[in-house]
């Protein structure tokens, strides 16, 4: 468009004459493709002979003129116009065989050679626009037949040209697609299909239209894919020995279809029946895919599946059920039927029937069996013969004949009844086993019977086969014992006669708590009451915490904000306050002990209520009187490990004192029966004993007050499926036997006394420790008690076999003389030093950090070791550095009084600081290399010290002031 505009401006400029006169008209010539057109030019004079001149025709966009004529010479013609242009009527140019590319701007020039002047250059030109109209013509089209895989993308492109420019549209099966629909889009003559489906197949037509005409192009799209089942098989019913046909017809491209039929996932040509032979001889697959079955048998019933295939992708399938009607018949009666001696037994009649079985008749020893002559014998729902007690009356030969609405196929073969010994346990596991995690647990279980039974183990409720092992004696081995092994294990002994089972509980100690169960949330106004049943604590005290959060998380948070509340010790319920009313919350309970946290419980959803609004109580008409005693409220039945526990609220209206309740119950839709008519009026919960397993119970309460009886309460339903419904071990004291009650009370009294004694002992120990700590704070002197250097050297010598050498402490010198050494070695006591005297002022004496105490144990002064050295010893870090012998400390406290001045002593008693010659000999023998002699010497040394200490105590004054003294740490 830009060049057209510039050319128009240029033509206006050239149309102005040199003298200011212009030619305002613009010549436009229109022609059709294939025809001829004349481009007029009137620059030559119309009369007379024109002067010598040159005629040129130029086309805008071409470098050289397309036509030049000079005189009588042959014209010069552009190669694109050779044979199609010539002059006509002066300087006009005729173009034959017009083409679409001939359209454009043309200029005619006439140059007069004899009277040419530069001023006339702008006056001898004439512009003509040639428009060539042509019908639409396709430049690019898709192939006429196109194959595309299913689910692939496809692009169909149509490009057309013409004058004027044609408009391209698409049609599918004659319907205009417009701008596209669904997964198809059309834009600028291009059709896009995002995902080719089977429904996309068909003939697509591309049409280019303009005022000069239209052009069309058709493309057939073939979608390659698996077959599509057009007629699936239908469920059919046929009588035995009749023929049946199951239809199945499919379509696909390519159409090389093959059909396969399956009965219950097995190819019909590969099925072999026990009585009817191969099914292949009675079935045919027709050309249209239908299955033809001849002479249907009872075993032919089942699900039949048709699978057509053409080798592409995954073939489809369609199924239908075939039902075969036949009289009742016995399948396989065993020749012998064993019954357990002394137990309940069953003689089975293996029957199949369609329509269903109606009844079964039995014969014994060739005669009709009359069940009323055998007490306890009955017939089961499937026609089996149930014998209450296996004895000699059950011996004989039995035969059964089944019947349905189509009759019977005949009696069964005879089976002979034999009496066999049922399994009996020789060794049962204990009721409970406690074992630490990681160790091995062996649980015995063995049984006998005829034939010998097979003993197996299984964990109740959960499979743990990877950890459980059974040895040759049928004992269960749990190696290593893990937390998952905790629970109830069942040992089962079974043979062809009967099956018996026994169980035991395994408690795994030393683990984190187990998950809590039966979490319930009762919504309250702006709060919720959460209760649960604790799991096993793993052998340690466990605590609980409740975690809750709103179900809808905040928009500015990526995760839920959980809030936790600690539960008081021993509680199994908690009231969660501060909740938003009418907002759904998530609740979960977490158990923890000293080893870690257990798993979270299942999340329970609940919506707290809003604040209650008290509506106005409607006045009752005068003719209506309120009932004097209302019924109990809110009766709820809860499953607990002890059984079924009932909770209720007392009646709102009670005219007098509430006398009690009557508990009624029933099974299913049976009549109500009184279970307990003496429930106290103060009770609000009751444990119901003596229930039957796997039964749906209904309970209700009736209140009694004076002579009034209330209406029944609401009905509470509960099922005992999978519940141990035996009476609880913890009964009321009045219901316990006298010996058991006496034992329980005696045990409680003993436990109370033991707890009281433990508390008193702890109080005394704490008081004495507090006194020693006070003396320790006032004490400033270094340690006074050390072992003799010879003894310490002996104990620290290499190769010593004493276990006390594990401390491995280096000997250190102490500037304070060892009072113990003076006492043992009879060193004369020196004058006492002041407590504030600097320790270096005393005479230095080599001391060792490990020494022998008065009781024969190794002791260590606390001031001789640094905290780091204390941590390196074999003593526990929590060991308190206190004296273990208060009597020795009292003796040491009295020593300064003895050293301060002489006092009279009986001469018959040796002094504490002196040793007899025998004792010195014993001390010297302590260096003997023989370990036994060394131990004997040390023992005699300790006894001698005890005697001297007792003598000294007897001579001490009755009242004396305690002197601060250092403490000692006992290593062994």
Q: What is the mean pLDDT of each run of 10 residues along the chain (972 residues)?
A: 43 40 64 87 74 87 88 87 87 88 89 67 72 88 92 92 88 83 84 89 91 90 91 94 94 90 91 62 91 92 94 90 94 92 91 93 93 89 90 92 93 93 92 92 92 90 70 90 90 91 93 93 92 92 93 74 90 91 93 92 90 59 62 85 84 84 86 88 85 83 87 86 53 53 88 92 91 78 43 39 38 41 42 40 46 58 43 37 41 41 41 46 50 75 82 62 40 28
Query: Taking a C-beta distance cutoff of 8 angstroms, is the pair 519, 511 a contact?
Result: no
Rounded CA Rg of the chain: 57
How far, CA to CA in Å, does 888 sit from each of 67, 854, 961? 143, 8, 15
Pairing of β 432-436 and β 499-509: parallel
CA–CA distance, 657 with 708 (Å, rounded to integer): 11
Distinct helix (H) and strand (E) counts, the chain: 8, 67
Q: What is the pLDDT of residue 464?
A: 61
Chain-centre distance for alpha carbon 775: 61
Residue with tokens 């998380």: 553
pLDDT digits (tens, 9 = 90+) for 876-900: 333 333 333 444 444 444 444 443 3
Contact 935, 794 (CB under 8 A): no
What is the rounded distance in angstroms from the CA atom of residue 41 to the CA atom of residue 104? 16
Contact partners, residue 181, CB within 8 Å, separation at least 6: none
- Three-state SS for 184? strand
At residue 531, the pLDDT reads 95
Residues ≥6 apart with Cβ < 8 Å to 760: none
Residue written as tokens 């001789």? Answer: 864
Residue with tokens 């909770």: 647
Residue 141: exposure state from Cβ atoms within 10 A (0-12, 13-18, ≥19) = middle
Contact 230, 249 (CB under 8 A): yes
Contacts 24+ apart (CB under 8 A), 928-936: 931/801, 934/794
Residue environment code for 850-868, b if the CB has 16+ CB neighbours within 10 A, otherwise e:
bbbbbeebbbbbeebbeee
Distance CA 819, CA 215 (A): 130
Check residue 931 and give its pLDDT: 63
The one-character DSSP state at 39 is E
Instruction: Give me the pLDDT at residue 844, please.
Output: 44
Are 100 and 31 a contacting pair, CB within 8 Å? Answer: no
What pLDDT score was predicted for residue 558?
66
Helix (H, G, I), strand (E, B) or coil at 483: helix
Instruction: Give kind and range of the element (H or E) at residue 210.
Output: strand 202-210
Prediction pTM value:
0.43
C-alpha span between 330 and 334 (Å, rounded): 11
Give the rounded distance of the alpha carbon of 678 from its chain centre.
48
Helices (DSSP H) in 368-408: which residue ranges?
A: none
Measured CA to CA, the distance from residue 156 to residue 310 in angstroms comes to 27
Contacts of 818 (CB under 8 A, 6+ apart): 784, 785, 786, 845, 847, 851
Q: How far apart are CA 449 and CA 422, in angstroms?
A: 5
3-state secondary structure of 656: coil
Alpha carbons 938 and 949: distance in angstroms, whole number: 16
Q: What residues are paired with 394 via a beta bridge?
A: none
Tokens linked to 267: 């190819």
Q: What is the layout of strands, in order, in the sheet containing 378-379? A: 345-347, 385-387, 378-379
The residues pairing with 259 across neighbouring beta strands, listed in sequence order, are: 308
pLDDT value of residue 881: 36
Please tell me the number of Cα atoms within 13 Å of 438 on its side-chain side: 2
Cross-strand partners of 131 = 30
Which one, of 858, 834, 854, lies nearest residue 953 by Cα? 854
Q: Please state whether beta strands 318-330 and 302-309 pair in parallel, antiparallel, or not at all (unpaired).
A: antiparallel
Check if the beta carbon of residue 588 is closer than 8 Å to that of residue 563: no
Instruction: Round to whole Å and give the CA distance between 442 and 476.
Output: 6
Q: How far apart are CA 930 and CA 953, in angstroms?
A: 35
């Amino acid at each position: 468009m830009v060049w057209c505009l510039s050319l128009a401006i240029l033509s206006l400029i050239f149309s102005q004459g040199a003298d200011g006169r212009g030619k305002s008209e613009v010549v436009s010539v229109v022609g059709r493709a294939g025809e001829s057109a004349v481009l007029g030019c009137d620059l030559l004079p119309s009369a007379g002979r024109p002067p010598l001149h040159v005629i040129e025709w130029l086309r805008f966009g071409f470098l050289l003129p397309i036509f030049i004529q000079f005189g009588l010479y042959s014209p010069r013609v552009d190669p694109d116009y050779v044979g199609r242009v010539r002059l006509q009527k002066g300087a006009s140019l005729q173009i034959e065989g017009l083409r679409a590319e001939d359209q454009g701007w043309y200029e005619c020039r006439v140059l007069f050679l004899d009277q040419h002047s530069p001023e006339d250059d702008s006056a001898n030109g004439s512009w003509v626009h040639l428009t060539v109209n042509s019908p639409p013509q396709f430049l690019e089209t898709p192939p006429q037949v196109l194959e595309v895989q299913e689910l692939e993308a496809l692009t169909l492109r149509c490009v057309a040209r013409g004058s004027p420019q044609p408009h391209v549209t698409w049609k599918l099966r004659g319907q205009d697609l417009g701008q596209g629909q669904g997964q198809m889009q059309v834009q600028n003559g291009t059709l896009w299909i995002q995902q080719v489906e089977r429904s996309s197949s068909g003939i697509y037509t591309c049409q280019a239209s303009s005022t000069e005409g239209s052009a069309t192009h058709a493309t057939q799209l073939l979608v390659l894919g698996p077959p599509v089942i057009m007629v699936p098989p239908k469920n059919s019913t046929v009588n035995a020995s009749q023929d049946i046909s199951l239809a199945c017809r499919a379509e696909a491209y390519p159409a090389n279809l093959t059909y396969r039929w399956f009965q219950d996932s097995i190819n019909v040509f590969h099925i072999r029946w026990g009585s009817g032979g191969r099914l292949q001889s009675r079935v045919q697959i027709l050309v249209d895919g239908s299955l033809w079955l001849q002479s249907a048998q009872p075993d032919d019933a089942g699900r039949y599946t048709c699978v057509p295939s053409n080798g592409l992708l995954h073939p489809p399938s369609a199924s239908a059920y075939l039902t075969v009607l036949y009289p009742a018949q016995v399948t396989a009666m065993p020749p012998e039927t064993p019954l357990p001696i002394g137990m309940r037994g069953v003689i089975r009649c293996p029957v199949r029937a369609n329509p269903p079985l109606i009844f079964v008749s039995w014969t014994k020893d060739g005669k009709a069996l009359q069940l009323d002559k055998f007490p306890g014998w009955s017939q089961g729902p499937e026609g089996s013969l149930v014998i209450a007690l296996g004895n000699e009356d059950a011996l004989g030969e039995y035969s059964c004949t089944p019947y349905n609405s189509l009759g019977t196929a005949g009696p069964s073969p005879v089976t002979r009844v034999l009496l066999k010994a049922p399994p009996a346990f020789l060794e049962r596991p204990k009721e409970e086993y406690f074992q630490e995690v990681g160790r091995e647990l062996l649980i015995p279980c063995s049984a006998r019977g005829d034939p010998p039974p097979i003993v197996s183990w299984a964990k109740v409720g959960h499979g743990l086969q990877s950890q459980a092992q059974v040895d040759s004696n049928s004992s269960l081995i749990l190696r290593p014992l893990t937390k998952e092994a905790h629970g109830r294990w069942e040992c089962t002994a079974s043979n062809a006669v009967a099956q018996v089972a026994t169980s035991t509980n395994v408690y795994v100690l030393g683990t984190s708590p187990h998950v809590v169960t039966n979490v319930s949330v009762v919504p309250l106004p702006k709060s919720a009451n959460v209760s649960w049943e604790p799991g096993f604590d793993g052998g340690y005290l466990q605590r609980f915490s409740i975690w809750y959060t709103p179900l809808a998380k905040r928009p500015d948070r990526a995760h839920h904000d959980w809030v936790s509340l600690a539960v008081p010790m021993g509680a199994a319920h908690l009231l969660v306050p501060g909740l938003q009313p009418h907002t759904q919350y998530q609740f979960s309970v977490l158990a923890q002990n000293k080893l870690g946290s257990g798993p979270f419980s299942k999340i329970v959803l609940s919506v707290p209520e809003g604040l209650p609004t008290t509506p106005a109580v409607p006045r009752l008409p005068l003719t209506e009187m309120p009932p004097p005693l209302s019924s109990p409220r809110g009766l709820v039945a809860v499953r607990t490990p002890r059984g079924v526990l009932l909770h209720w609220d007392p009646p709102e209206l009670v005219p007098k004192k509430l006398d009690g309740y009557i508990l009624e119950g029933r099974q299913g839709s049976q009549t109500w029966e009184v279970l307990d008519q003496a429930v106290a009026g103060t009770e609000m919960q009751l444990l119901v004993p003596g229930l039957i397993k796997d039964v749906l119970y209904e309970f209700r309460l009736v209140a009694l007050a004076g002579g009034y009886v209330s209406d029944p309460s609401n009905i509470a339903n509960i099922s005992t499926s999978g519940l141990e419904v035996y009476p609880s071990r913890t009964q009321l004291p009045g219901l316990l036997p006298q010996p058991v009650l006496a034992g329980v009370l005696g045990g409680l009294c003993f436990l109370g006394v033991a707890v009281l004694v433990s508390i008193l002992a702890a109080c005394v120990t704490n008081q004495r420790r507090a006194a020693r700590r006070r003396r320790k704070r006032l004490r400033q002197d270094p340690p006074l008690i050390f072992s003799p250097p010879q003894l310490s050297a002996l104990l620290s010598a290499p190769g010593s076999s004493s276990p006390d050498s594990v401390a491995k402490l280096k000997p250190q010198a102490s500037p304070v003389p060892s009072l113990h050494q003076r006492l043992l070695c009879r060193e004369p006591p020196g004058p006492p030093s002041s407590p504030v005297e600097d320790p270096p002022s005393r005479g230095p004496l080599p001391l060792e950090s490990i020494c022998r105490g008065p009781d024969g144990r190794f002791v260590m002064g606390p001031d001789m070791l640094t905290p780091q050295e204390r941590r390196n010893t074999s003593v526990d870090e929590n060991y308190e550095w206190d004296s273990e012998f208060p009597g020795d400390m009292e003796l040491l406290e009295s020593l300064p009084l003895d050293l301060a001045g002489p006092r009279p002593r009986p001469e018959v008693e040796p002094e504490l600081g002196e040793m007899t010659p025998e004792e010195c000999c014993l001390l010297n023998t302590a260096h003997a290399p023989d370990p036994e002699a060394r131990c004997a010497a040390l023992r005699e040394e300790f006894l001698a010290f005890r005697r001297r200490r007792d003598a000294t105590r007897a001579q001490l004054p009755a009242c004396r002031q305690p002197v601060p003294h250092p403490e000692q740490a006992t290593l062994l």
